[in-house]
A = this chain, B = another copy of it.
Amino acid sequence: MIGVRDVNPRVRAIRTPTSLQSQAAGITKQIAQGVRKPFAAVMDVSSGDPHRAGMAPISFVRQVLAACLHPELLKETSFPPDVRQRARSLLGACNGGSVGSYCVTSYGLPHVLRRVAEFIQRRDGGVISHSEDIIFSSGSQAALMLVLHLMASGEGVTQTGVLTPTPCPHTLPMLMDEAGVRPVPYQLSEERGWTVDAAQLHRALKTARRRCAPRAIYISNPGNPTGHVLDRTTIEEVIRFAATEGLVLLAEEVQQDSVFGQDRQFVSFKKVLFEMGSEYSETVELISFHSISAAFTGECGLRGGYMEVINMEPAVKQHLKSMQGSGSPALLPQLALELSVNPPAPGDGSYDTYAQEISHIRTTLSQNAQRACEFLNGLPGVSCQLPMAGVFLYPRVHVPQGLVEEAKTRGVEADVLYCQKFLEEQGVCLGPGCENGQDDQKHHIRLCVLAPTAALDDVLARLQAFHLRLRDTFP
């Protein structure tokens, strides 16, 4: 008999998500039952889910995966030759030539890990990457969870702490809770486009050392949800900070392909680390996370990603590699990962289609972000930093005092109440800033802009109508 009091305290500690998702589900149910609403369906822009929003998948990825699932398709000529060739090569890497067999290791198919290492080495201008340092996992969150679980230990002042940006990805606080790791918040600098401020890191660490044992720093670059892309100087500062303080560097670099800011390029922590010389490149423990859920591939439903693990003690890395041992990782998302980091090259039969599709996504994302940012900055009481990358905008919203009071009496955060009312009135689900770890008086909302342009325009028009009316209601 398991009563609530018998449940693992660690499981009981998992925060329940805000009620917005269930509110959205409730409204969808009402519409299905014939209840009339001022909108036809609920739109959820609170998370980055390009396919749900109506973006199309990359044809090359889907064709190869379909052929791997049903190899009879290889006999036909309806797929381009490079699709068939890639499918044959990937099936050759699976036991028994089938995606239905178990993975040979708990950390991924050797062929896929090699191809990921090749990709990283190309990306970083030749800085070496070893396939033994690559661990496949079912998404960057699952990978991060393994690392947090690996590091979790102690209680009170000995409990493992992880320096965590404010704002952070909205999925992060729940992961830390579940792993039993204590978040140590450091504030990003909104007025400087959400960059990392070294003084904030030192301040956070100093305060934290009285409460827990900080052992890692988590950083999101390009920033989720901020869209900020770190410059090389800041990356060097963070690396020196990690080196001096003996912290493991956890670099979430999922949106590395989706940089659209005019004067900024993505540079990986790995590349900078190795260009800082052996004093750093041979000592600083770095784990970099990537995922097929990111903007361009957008395969959130397949669940795949990898981490590259640098300078970790071999025995510890071995622990990390064996942690998925209880469940051999799925094969299809591994193949999707191989395809997403090694897309068709010029001259390949699929290249033209692929290039067009990528260009369409890039243009949509860049234009949407720019236009939506301008639009939001035109609303009274709203200010939004221009993002350089990623799929989110994260504007600051002045919530009228009357609504703040109402939120207090209802026992919810003011930004949550703002989102609840918007959802109820206009059928659009935003993400409240408190989910991103912000609990101060500066309220923010999170919205994904990777959607067909017309759909995004509709969301913005609804937000304008709601926001203006709210200001009239609570003057």
Contact = CB atoms under 8 A, between A and B. Distances in A.
A382 B450 CA distance: 64
Interface in A292-331: 298-303, 312-313, 315-316, 319, 322-323, 325-331
Contact of A6 (B53, B94, B151): B151
A27 interface: no
A69 interface: yes
A245 to B, nearest CB: 10
A403 interface: no
A16 interface: yes
Interface stretch (A96-104, A199-207, A231-239): A96-104
A14 B174 contact: no
Contacts of A247: 1
Contacts of A248: 1-2
A333 interface: yes
Contacts of A98: 51-52, 57, 301
A153 interface: yes
Contacts of A138: 138, 327, 330
Given A4-B316, A14-B322, A51 B96 contact: yes
Interface string A350-368: 0000000000000000000
B142 A52 contact: no
A150 interface: yes
A138 B175 CA distance: 19
Contacts of A6: 151, 153, 215, 316
Contact of A139 (B9, B94, B327): B327
A148 to B, nearest CB: 9
Interface stretch (A58-66, A122-130, A431-439, A457-465): A58-66
B319 A7 contact: yes
Contacts of A78: 76
A315 B12 CA distance: 10
Interface in A207-242: 215
A95 B49 contact: yes
A302 B326 contact: no
Chain multiplicity (copies):
2
A171 interface: yes
B151 A8 contact: yes
A203 B261 CA distance: 70
A73 interface: yes
Contacts of A95: 49, 51-52
Contacts of A63: 70
| Interface-central residue, A78, A99, A331, by most chain B CB under 10 Å | A99
A418 B268 CA distance: 49
Given A51-B96, A141-B327, A326-B174, A4 B299 contact: no
Contact of A100 (B17, B51, B59, B66): B51
A468 interface: no
Contact of A300 (B11, B50, B100, B298): B100
Nearest to A57: B100
A326 B13 CA distance: 13
A415 to B, nearest CB: 21
Contacts of A333: 330
Given A298-B100, A313-B3, A11 B331 contact: no
A69 B65 contact: yes
A54 interface: yes
B171 A301 contact: no
Nearest to A301: B331
Given A2-B312, A62-B70, A66-B70, A51 B101 contact: yes
A3 B103 CA distance: 29
Contacts of A316: 2-4, 6-7
The 3 A-B residue pairs with the shortest CB-CB distance, nearest first, are A51-B98, A52-B96, A66-B70
